[in-house]
């Protein structure tokens, strides 16, 4: 069963790896930090140097570019490196805009989200490396099925909201919003174990070094997911408090 992280789908379909320089944990770690650095620098440049009137266009454009970059990297491994940089730059802009908005309404929320995301990452790394959480075939099936469930839920919710006033149906249901957000955070945390498992399989299987970029990109996707969902939960809790 394929990983729930779409970036790894193409790797799983590969039967053999090239025998050139092989992938390593050090290489994956370095490339992940490089992509995170690109995202931070791009985001900082966007909010400090670009006109405020371009922010909405940048927000929409960054989402589209990031999605295209992921799809290209997933199906064309040889382009994983340049597409990883494109994704990191696009996500840097997106995260900068979201962070700036969140910090305006809830000062300090982004810092709390960063700390929480980092803590979850290392906790899940410990749980995976100590084999407290084992990534079995059944576990992968459940995660994959859940991903489709999440996608169908949001697509259906979006279509339904066009025809029905969802506020009238659910009202200001903070409990439901909090529950959904917590569920998505837990799912993102569990998805990290699939990323770790894929990294381990690639390194132990002697994959070509180019696959390090795909693993690093996959980790970036999950980390961004976690950060956004944690930030959203903080915003919901803050609005309820107010």
pLDDT in tens, the chain (242 residues): 445 555 555 555 443 444 457 889 999 999 999 999 999 999 888 888 878 778 788 888 888 999 899 889 888 888 889 999 999 999 999 999 899 888 988 899 999 999 999 999 999 999 999 999 988 889 888 888 888 888 787 777 666 665 555 554 455 567 778 888 899 999 999 999 999 998 999 998 888 888 899 899 999 999 999 999 999 999 988 877 65
Query: How many C-beta atoms lie closer than 10 Å to residue 198's C-beta?
Result: 23
Residue 14: φ, ψ to 5°: -75, 130
Q: Are 84 and 218 in contact (CB under 8 A)?
A: no
Query: Coil, helix or strand for 22?
Result: strand
Give Cβ neighbours of residue 172 (< 8 Å, ≥ 6 apart): none
CA 229/CA 150 separation, integer angstroms: 14
What whole-number distance in Å separates Cα of residue 134 and Cα of residue 197?
Answer: 9
Which pTM does this prediction carry?
A: 0.82
C-alpha closest to that of 55 among 86, 108, 99: 99
Return the SS3 of 208.
strand
The rounded distance, in Å, linking the Cα atoms of 160 and 205 is 45
Tabulate helix, strand, coil % of the chain (nearest 5).
Answer: 85, 0, 15
125, exposed or middle or buried, with CB in 10 Å at 0-12, 13-18, 19+?
Answer: middle
């Amino acid at each position: 069963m394929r990983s729930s992280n779409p970036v790894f789908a193409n790797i799983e379909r590969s039967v053999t790896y090239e025998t050139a320089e092989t992938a390593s944990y050090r290489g994956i770690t370095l490339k992940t930090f490089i992509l995170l650095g690109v995202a931070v620098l791009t985001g900082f440049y966007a909010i400090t140097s670009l006109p405020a009137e371009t922010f909405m266009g940048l927000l929409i454009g960054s989402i589209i570019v990031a999605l295209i970059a992921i799809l290209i990297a997933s199906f064309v491994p040889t382009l994983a490196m340049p597409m990883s940089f494109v994704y990191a730059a696009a996500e840097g802009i997106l995260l900068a805009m979201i962070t700036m908005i969140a910090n305006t309404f809830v000062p300090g929320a982004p810092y709390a989200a960063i700390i929480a995301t980092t803590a979850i990452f290392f906790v899940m790394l410990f749980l995976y490396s100590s084999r407290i959480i084992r990534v079995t075939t059944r576990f992968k099936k459940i995660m994959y099925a859940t991903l489709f469930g999440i996608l169908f839920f949001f697509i259906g919710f979006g279509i339904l909201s066009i025809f029905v006033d969802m506020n009238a149906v659910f009202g200001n249901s903070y409990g439901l919003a909090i529950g959904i957000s917590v569920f998505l955070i837990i799912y993102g945390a569990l998805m990290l174990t699939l990323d770790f498992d894929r990294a381990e399989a690639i390194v132990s299987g002697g994959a070509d070094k180019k696959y390090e970029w795909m693993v690093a990109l996959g980790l970036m996707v999950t980390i961004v997911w976690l950060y956004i969902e944690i930030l959203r939960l903080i915003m919901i809790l803050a609005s309820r408090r107010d």
